[in-house]
Structure 1
Amino acid sequence: MKIQNIETFHAAIPLHTPFKTALRTVTVAETIVVKITCDNGVTGWGEAPPTHVITGDSLASIRYAVSEIFKPLLLEKSLFNHEQIVEKINKSLVGNTSAKAAVDMAIYDCMAKHANLPLAQYLGGYTEQIETDYTVSVNSPEEMADDAQKYANDGFSVLKVKVGKDEINQDIRRIEAIRKRIGSKATIRLDANQGWQAKEAVRAIRKMEDLGLDIELIEQPVKAYDFEGLQYVTANTETPIMADESVFSSRDARRILEMRAADLINIKLMKAGGIHEALKIAKLAHIYGVNCMVGSMIETKIGITAAAHFAASQPNVNRYDFDAPLMLADDLIDGGVTYKQNAIDLGAEPGLGIERINEQFIAEWPVGY
């Protein structure tokens, strides 16, 4: 089964509500869709959204990496030599993890289809039960409390609350307002997106503990490069701390695990460069007895379907952050995962189960791309 063609498409879908974090505000989900066609007619799908503030990838860099670097390397290569393909991709370009992820997930889609298995089963098939959280964007305390109440009423039992955008005491007021509004109706986890300093994070987390705000975990409280600061926060608080932007690769994960710098790890395909490296991170964390969450950027159902299948295949992945497609005004594809409130159905179709792209969302390439 050899790669016959690799195509890229630019897609754009508006969000029904702006997505706000400490790092950015998103109103339109833009992405590069990758389609791999094999000589036996099997096709695989992947995607890569530009997330400049996290991965450094842009629309232009993703398209260039896939079309001008990966495609010439991979045409006529057999997918049965998968490790060789991964080696070629990684040697050809430093970084550019989102571009690598798009090609990687399309390859896995092809391989699972060839095996006539859903991707989750192809990867190991640990569970079929996945329930996503829903993200509360950072806004005023009152607005965030309103949003949290709505999402809890809609059936989401876990809320991921964004903080870290401004003064840390304002973050505490945000959480107080949310907890007061929803009571014990939903689990609350926080994501500071690198927005705090280590010592202020410890003070704030201890205060939230003393106030009985019952926070499940706090994700990436400090800068991605500040492993020592992350270790300090983890050692000096009772609330579990999750590493996100600090972990792109299995090498990063090993350092975090050896330092005991975090209690949990958030794996994202766009950071890891795809499923191949994500599997290494999950396996390594499992050896250390550390559980993982699998999350995403603002992606369409292509990327989320791949991430959900990967997550369902691993025994130490027990948290899921797959709400991005629910934020979009429409679906880019037919097929893939389906949602019933917070429950996700992986489907029984081979591979990712993607039927087709809805072409009304394929956008023109911007001038200069």
Structure 2
Amino acid sequence: MKITQATIFPLSIPLIEPIKMAKEQIVDAKTVLLCLTDDEGHQGWGEASAAPLMTGETLDSLLASVKYLVEKACKMEWSDPKHFSKACDAILYGNPSAKSCLQMALLDLYTQKNSIALWKYLRSLGASEDLPEPGKLPLLRMLGGTLEKEVADAKFFREAGFRHWKIKIGSLSVEEDLHRVQVLSDLLEGDVISVDANGAMSLDDAIGFCTSKQAGTLAFAEQLIHADSALADFVLLKQRSPIPIGLDESIHGSDEIDEFRVAKALDGASLKLIKTGGVLEAWNCAQLLRSNNLKLNLACKVAETSLAGAATASIGFAIGEVPWGFSMSNQYLRFDICDRPLSAKRGHLDIEQLNTTGVGVTPNLARVKDAVAQGYSIIQY
């Protein structure tokens, strides 16, 4: 498989409303799309988002890395996806987001060429035969803003079928966050409710939060302390917490999962393609979690389009179950780049929304061009 043409699109897509996290407020999605054309005329698409506080990538640095990878990739022959990750590593050290973008486009090309859906291809990679049949992926909805707004949003989206929730914490006092958790837990009783501090809490505050009565019904607490905290701190938090502990920013691949698993420092993990370096390593991570009875949450960066959403969802459909839900972030965008964006159906994503071959969606080129970030240009090879 030879790449004959490559086009890079640096995009900026406004959110429906700002999303406030513990350490930042996001008002638009800064993301890079890549379109590759092979020698048979197939087109494959990839995407990766800037995430300065998670991967260290800004739109400029991500764009530079994607350009560097693409320039080298256009001179290479691409055949077996099992070698895609190693080939990318041989071109550029680190930079998992850029590699994820290129790998996604290559996988889209490969699976289209071989007339197979990406999720089915993943299942063919030596996975255990006891995987459940793919069904609907439960979508996780974020709650944030004033408590009044959170309550109103929770009522609205619960009526629409959502049953998985994430409450953003860490920017207020522990007492204020616990009050919010109590109110929302009472309102959403019986649902899968989690919190996410994006590493903003001290160890003492995290332990105090988890051992409080108000947090007692949470399904899990995600990344309460900073990713650079000592492993012993994560171990102590897990030992002291009566609620399950999930990790996000701390997990970039199988090595970290194994390290925290052996130390008994986690109950599950959130996987994002921009952290792991692409679909293939994220798939390996998902299998590792499942084989060790650890919980899985799949997530797109806030916010990515239906393209990254479909690639991430393919892991969920391939593994068969995502107990901690799928954070599909195109639901927060003011507009998407696909004619038929992925959407929630009674709080779930149906496999029927994906195309029968490739990653699962095809961007509309005109929509993509309309979303090019101000001050940036489309790059053609």
TM-score normalised per structure 1: 0.91
Letter of the aligned partner of 2:258 in structure 1? R
Q: Does 1:276 align with 2:280?
A: yes
Of 341, 361, 371 in structure 2, the residue corresponding to residue 361 of structure 1 is: 371
Q: How many Å separate the matches in 2 of 1:204 and 1:84?
A: 44
Q: Does 1:194 align with 2:199?
A: yes
Deviation at 1:85, TM superposition (A): 3.6
Q: How many Å separate the matches in 2 of 1:211 and 1:273?
A: 37
Q: Structure 1 residues 269 and 18, CA, compared in 2 at 3 Å: closer, same or farther?
A: same
Aligned to 2:128: none
Of 329, 332, 335 in structure 2, the residue corresponding to residue 330 of structure 1 is: 335
* Contact 2:300 2:327 (8 Å CA) reproduced: yes
Aligned to 2:130: none
Q: Structure 1 residues 314 and 240, CA, compared in 2 at 3 Å: closer, same or farther?
A: same
Deviations 1:89-148 (A, max 9, x none): 1133333221111111111111111121121112118513212010012x3333323332
Aligned to 1:59: 59
Q: How many Å separate the matches in 2 of 1:253 and 1:300?
A: 27
Q: Secondary structure at the match of 1:22?
A: coil
Q: Secondary structure at the match of 1:339?
A: coil
* Runs of at least 5 residues in structure 2 that lack an aligned partner in the other structure: 125-132
Deviation at 1:153, TM superposition (A): 2.5
* Contact 2:195 2:220 (8 Å CA) reproduced: yes
Runs (4+) of structure 1 moved beyond 6 Å? none
Q: Does 1:140 align with 2:146?
A: yes
Aligned to 2:250: 246
Deviations 1:24-51 (A, max 9, x none): 1111112111111111111111111111
Deviations 1:296-353 (A, max 9, x none): 1011111111100122112564333333111111111224634324121232421123
Letter of the aligned partner of 1:27 in structure 2? V
* Contact 1:12 1:363 (8 Å CA) reproduced: yes
Q: Structure 1 residues 365 and 306, CA, compared in 2 at 3 Å: closer, same or farther?
A: farther
Letter of the aligned partner of 1:63 in structure 2? L
Q: How many Å separate the matches in 2 of 1:160 and 1:355?
A: 29
Letter of the aligned partner of 1:202 in structure 2? I
Letter of the aligned partner of 2:45 in structure 1? W
* Runs of at least 5 residues in structure 1 that lack an aligned partner in the other structure: none
* Contact 2:6 2:37 (8 Å CA) reproduced: yes
Q: 5 Å matches for 1:217-232? A: 217-226=220-229, 227-232=231-236
Q: How many Å separate the matches in 2 of 1:110 and 1:128?
A: 25
Letter of the aligned partner of 1:113 in structure 2? Q
Q: Structure 1 residues 143 and 213, CA, compared in 2 at 3 Å: closer, same or farther?
A: farther
Q: Does 1:121 align with 2:150?
A: no
Q: How many Å separate the matches in 1 of 2:34 and 2:185?
A: 42
Percentage of matched positions with identical amino acids: 23
Q: 5 Å matches for 1:88-237? A: 88-124=87-123, 126-137=133-144, 139-180=145-186, 182-184=187-189, 186-207=191-212, 210-211=213-214, 213-226=216-229, 227-237=231-241
Q: How many Å separate the matches in 2 of 1:9 and 1:286?
A: 36
Q: Structure 1 residues 169 and 310, CA, compared in 2 at 3 Å: closer, same or farther?
A: same
* Contact 1:142 1:174 (8 Å CA) reproduced: no
Deviation at 1:202, TM superposition (A): 1.3
Deviations 1:204-225 (A, max 9, x none): 1111xx3475111111111112
Q: Structure 1 residues 106 and 165, CA, compared in 2 at 3 Å: closer, same or farther?
A: same
Deviation at 1:248, TM superposition (A): 0.6
Moved more, 310-319 or 241-250: 310-319
Moved more, 116-125 or 43-52: 116-125
Q: Secondary structure at the match of 1:80?
A: coil
Aligned-residue RMSD, C-alpha = 2.1
TM-score normalised per structure 2: 0.89
Deviation at 1:3, TM superposition (A): 1.9
* Contact 1:145 1:174 (8 Å CA) reproduced: no
Q: Does 1:343 align with 2:348?
A: yes
* Contact 1:133 1:322 (8 Å CA) reproduced: yes
